[in-house]
Amino acid sequence: MSGQASTAYIEEYLPEDDALASARRNAAEVGGAVPVAPGVGAALRFIASAVSARTVVEIGTGCGTSGIWLLRGMRRDAVLTSVDVDPEHQRLARLAFAEAGFPANRCRLITGRAAEVLPRLTDGAYDLVFCDADKQEYPDYLREALRLLRPGGVVAFDNALWEGRVADPRANDPETAAIREVCEQVRQDQRLVPMLLPVGDGLLAAVKRA
Q: What is the pLDDT of residue 73?
A: 98
Q: What is the pLDDT of residue 29?
A: 93
Q: What is the pLDDT of residue 168?
A: 97
Other C-beta atoms closer than 10 Å to the C-beta of 68 total: 26
pTM of the predicted model, to two decimals?
Answer: 0.96
Q: Give CA angle at 27 (65, 129), nearest 5°.
A: 35
β strands within the chain, DSSP E: 55-59, 79-84, 107-111, 126-131, 149-158, 192-197, 203-208
pLDDT, averaged per 10 consecutive residues of the chain (210 residues), comes to 83 94 94 93 98 98 96 98 96 97 97 97 98 98 98 98 97 98 98 97 97
Q: What is the pLDDT of residue 33?
A: 87
| Residues 208, 175: Cα–Cα separation, whole Å | 25
The domain locations on the chain are 3-208
Report the CATH number of the 3-208 domain: 3.40.50.150
Q: What is the pLDDT of residue 86?
A: 95
Adjacent-strand bridge partners of 156: 130, 205
Q: What is the pLDDT of residue 97?
A: 98
Taken in order 155, 159, 164, 169, is the CA torsion positive or negative?
negative
Helix residue ranges, H only, 33-173: 38-50, 65-73, 87-99, 114-117, 138-148
pLDDT in tens, 155-175: 999 999 999 999 999 999 999
Quick check: 100 and 128 in contact, CB under 8 A? no
Q: What is the pLDDT of residue 32?
A: 84
